[in-house]
Chains A and B, each alone.
Chain A
C-alpha cells in the first residue's frame, strides 16, 4: 500500500469517528455506528404503525372481561388483549367491593400514543399505549384505584425499560419497570390505577417518521438522477482523457 493511501485511510477513519462523535453530541438518543438497509418490522401489532411497516401490520384489538366480585373484593383474574401484548394480573381482592355491584367489567383498549401527551425526558413512546377502564356492574361507576396493586406485563417493539402511567393521558408518571429476559421485549411493573400505560425508549425512531418516508418516491427519483449524472460524468471524463492521450 502506498504512503498516500495510508494517509488517506487515516484521514477517512479519523473523519468517520469525528462525524460519529458530532452526531452523538447533537442527538439526545442513541446513535448507531452505521445506518444501512435491512430494517425489519418487529413482530408487533401497532395501532398507528411507522409508515415503513404499515402494510404488514395487523391492528391490535381491545378486550373486555368480567371479573366477579365477592365479599372481600374481586376474584383473582388475568386479563389479556387477544394478541397478548398487554396482560393485567389482579390478585384476589385487588378491586374493592361496592354495594350492589356483582362484577367489574375490565376493558383494555390499545391506543395510538400520538393521540396522547408525549412521554417526558426526551424519550419516545415504545409501541402502543393501553387504556384500562374498570366499571362496577350493574350500572355502577368506574373504579378509581385498586385496593391491592396488580401486575402489568407489556410487550414492546424495541428495547427500553421505561414505563409510564397516566390517569387521563395528559401527564405521565414513570413507574419502575423490569425488562423480562431473555428477549427483554416485555416490561413488567406494579399496576394500581386504571388509565393509560405506555412503554418508552431512548432509542432513535425505528425508521424515519411517516412525513419523510412518504417522500420516498421523490427521493428515489432524486437518487436515480444522481446515479445517471454520475455515469454520464464518468463517461465524458473517460472519453476526454482518451481523446487527450490518443
Chain B
C-alpha cells in the first residue's frame, strides 16, 4: 500500500468517526431534551417510540473506532457474560426488594414492550456506541463517560435527585460492558431491571 493510499484511508476513517461522533452527540441531545420534544407534538408516545427505534438502530449499526488494547487475560467469553449478567440482575433484584412497595402502574403487555425497547435502545446507545467511541482512551474513561451521559439525559424527565442513583446504576452497567466485552450483559440486565419495576 502506498503512503498516499494509507493517508487517504486514515482520512476516510477520521471523517467516518466525525460523522459517528456528530450522530452520537445529536442523539444524546435529543434524549436529554425529550420533554421539549414530546411537548411539541400531539402524539408523544409515537414520537418516543420512533426516537427509541432510531436510537436502537443507530446504536447497534454505527461503526466504532478500534478500542485500546485489552489485557490478554481479560475474559470475554460466554461464561464471563453469563456471570456478569447474573451479578447485575442480582444487584437490581436486591435493589427492587430494598425499595419495596408496589409497581408504579399495572404491568400491561404494552408497558413491558415499551420498557424493554427503552432498555435495549439505551444500552445500544450508551454501552455500545458511546462506550465504543470512548474506549480508545481506555475502559475507565469509557465507563465513566458513558455513565455520565446515561445519567445526565434522565435529569430532564425525573429531576436532579435521580442523578446519584442513575450514576451508580450506569457504573454497574458500564462495568458489565467492560468485563464481558459486549453490550449483551448490560442489555439483559437493564431489561430485567425494568421488568422488576413494572411486574
A56 touches B42 (CB 8 A): yes
A232: nearest chain-B partner, CB-CB:
B21
A223: nearest chain-B partner, CB-CB:
B32
Partner of A15, one of B32, B41, B166, B168: B168
A42 touches B105 (CB 8 A): yes
> How many B residues touch A, CB cutoff 8 Å?
91
A219 touches B111 (CB 8 A): no
A:175-219 near B, CB below 8 Å: 182-185, 202-203, 205-209, 212-217, 219
Min C-beta distance of A66 to chain B, whole Å: 36
CB-based A-B contact count at 8 angstroms: 254
> How far is B154's CA from A119's CA once the two chains are assembled, in angstroms?
28
Partner of A234, one of B48, B100, B141: B141
A:153-169 near B, CB below 8 Å: 157-159
A-facing mask of B115-138, CB < 8 A → 1, else 0?
101110110000000000110111
A-facing mask of B133-175, CB < 8 A → 1, else 0?
1101110010001001100111111111110111111011001
Q: Is A99 an interface residue (CB 8 A)?
A: no
Q: Which residues on the B side are within 8 Å of A15 (C-beta)?
A: 168, 171
16 A–B contacts, CB within 8 A, in A order: A5-B178, A15-B168, A19-B164, A30-B99, A39-B157, A40-B45, A40-B110, A55-B38, A158-B105, A214-B35, A219-B32, A219-B152, A223-B28, A223-B29, A228-B25, A237-B137
The 4 closest A-B pairs by CB, nearest first: A220-B33, A38-B118, A33-B95, A213-B35
